[in-house]
Amino acid sequence: MSEQPAGEKSFEPTEKRKKDAAKKGNVLRSKEVATAVSVMIGAVWLKLAGPWLLGSMAATTETAFTFDRTTIDDFRPGEMLRNIVIDLVPTLLTLGLLVVTATMAAQLMLGDGRWVIGNMAPKGSRINPLSGLKRMFGAQGMIELGKSLAKLLLLGSIAWYWGSANLLTVLSLGRGELTGQLSAAWDSIATLLMLLAGGLVMIAMLDWPIQYVRRISQLKMTNQEVRDEHKQTEGAPEKKAAIRQRQRDMARGGVSRAVKEAQFVLTNPTHFSVAMAYDPAVAAAPYVLAKGRGEKALAMRELAGEYGIPALEYPSLARAVYFTTRENQVVRAELYAAIASVLAFVLSLKRGEKPQRPHVAVPIELQFDAEGRANTA
């Protein structure tokens, strides 16, 4: 099976690549979703808040076209304008805030809730004529042109359908009482906006997966990029080995003297190490000089090899001593027999003998797993 070319972007983007791209402003965007949301919110608001806005418009119209002697003698255009603003601005401002908030929320949801300030910064490519021509006549420009034509066809069809159904209503406007005409016009406009919003939602539902697939395609990675990212995330093997060596060196410095004074080291074989000794002048039973796990345990094994101290693999016994005995403390009485067997074996080795490695038994209540959980069997 032949390997894929090194420069071919055939690997799906990792989560890290997606997050790094988002930090640079490359987030999922869909103008169609934002447009659909804003128009839908506006249409719903107009449908529900119609009486409120109509009442404000009726009050404003009545004020503007009502004249009496007092108005002529004390004409105050500023006050009239202020009243109009007070009547209309709250309703229009509410609509504007709803549309802006909904549009921003839709984009933030698409962009994983990320607000990218860098997208607001000026970019030369946006005003570069060559870049503009490339966008217009490139593959992306052709796609946008096709989308625009499809939108025009769909929304035009919806508008034609609405017009054919409401033509008589539109033509009759201006022939009756003002409040009734405003209500009829309002209902017609709100209905048209609802239909157009429905069409925009259909377009958005088609555009969102297209934008998603396009973004994933742009972020695809080569084999080398995947390897480089793995090294950055997990760390190069050389770097990890260097870190482990530094940790081991630090551990060695802390237990070097204790291991040098030990008579033997119990191991598990690499997760735990316990350096032990027996001196009747110091204690009546074998005692622990040092103990450790992980890098410290490995350092103790290395030091034991350098000093010629026997390192014996007794996993159950090593864990039992590690979890039940502190440093510079004698072992528990239940472990005397097992430790004595190991000590006798070590002393025989030091005398130049070749004894058989002893079998030791650890009481069931002192048997632990690697997390220190006692055996309850």
In a domain? residue 346:
yes
In a domain? residue 319:
yes
Q: For residue 98, what are its two tokens?
A: 């709803």
Q: What does the alpha-carbon distance between residue 256 and residue 66 come to, in Å, rounded to a whole number? A: 102
In a domain? residue 14:
no
Q: Are residues 183 and 258 in the same domain?
A: no
Number of structural domains, the chain?
Answer: 2
What number of other Cβ atoms are within 10 A of residue 326's Cβ? Answer: 9
In a domain? residue 134:
yes
In a domain? residue 18:
no
pTM of this prediction? Answer: 0.42
Q: Are residues 248 and 322 in the same domain?
A: yes
C-alpha angle with apex 332: 331 to 333, nearest 5 degrees? Answer: 120
Q: What does the alpha-carbon distance between residue 196 and residue 39 come to, in Å, rounded to a whole number? A: 8
In a domain? residue 270:
yes
Strand-pairing partners, residue 374, are 368
Report DSSP state, residue 99: H
Q: What does the alpha-carbon distance between residue 323 and residue 334 come to, in Å, rounded to a whole number? A: 14
The CATH number covering residue 326 comes to: 3.40.1690.10
What number of other Cβ atoms are within 10 A of residue 102's Cβ? Answer: 19
Q: What is the edge-to-edge ordering of all strands in the sheet holding 272-277?
A: 287-293, 272-277, 264-267, 311-313
Strand-pairing partners, residue 120, are none
In a domain? residue 50:
yes
Q: Are residues 160 and 76 in the same domain?
A: yes
Phi then psi dihedrals of residue 134, to 5 deg: -65, -40
Where in the sequence is the domain holding 42, given as residue range(s)? 27-218
Q: Are residues 69 and 189 in the same domain?
A: yes
Of the residues 183, 218, 253, the one at which a domain ends: 218
8 Å CB contact between 321 and 274: yes
8 Å CB contact between 112 and 118: no
In a domain? residue 238:
no
Q: Are residues 127 and 265 in the same domain?
A: no
Q: Are residues 163 and 249 in the same domain?
A: no
Q: Are residues 286 and 209 in the same domain?
A: no
Q: Are residues 185 and 255 in the same domain?
A: no
Lookup result for tokens 């109509």: 54
Q: What does the alpha-carbon distance between residue 257 and residue 275 come to, in Å, rounded to a whole number? A: 11
Q: Are residues 75 and 183 in the same domain?
A: yes
Q: What does the alpha-carbon distance between residue 337 and residue 199 come to, in Å, rounded to a whole number? A: 85
Q: Is the peptide bond before 77 cis (omega within 30 degrees of 0)?
A: no
Strand-pairing partners, residue 288, are 276
Q: Are residues 294 and 346 in the same domain?
A: yes
Q: For residue 307, what are its two tokens?
A: 């000093």
Lookup result for tokens 């530094």: 246
Q: Are residues 253 and 111 in the same domain?
A: no
Length of the chain: 377
Q: Where are the alpha helices (DSSP H) in the chain?
A: 15-23, 31-48, 50-64, 69-73, 77-110, 124-127, 129-137, 139-171, 178-218, 223-234, 237-261, 295-307, 315-324, 336-350
Burial group, residue 335, by CB count within 10 angstroms (0-12, 13-18, 19+): buried
Q: What does the alpha-carbon distance between residue 297 and residue 244 come to, in Å, rounded to a whole number? A: 12
Q: Are residues 89 and 155 in the same domain?
A: yes
The one-digit pLDDT tens for each residue of the chain (377 residues) are: 344 445 577 778 877 887 777 777 677 777 778 788 888 887 787 777 767 776 766 666 666 666 666 666 666 666 667 766 676 677 677 777 877 787 777 766 665 545 555 555 555 555 666 665 666 666 666 777 777 788 888 888 888 888 877 777 666 665 656 566 666 777 777 788 888 888 888 888 888 788 788 878 888 888 777 777 776 665 556 656 655 666 566 556 668 888 889 999 999 877 899 999 999 999 989 999 999 888 888 888 888 998 899 999 999 999 999 999 999 999 999 999 999 999 999 999 998 898 899 999 999 999 998 888 887 65
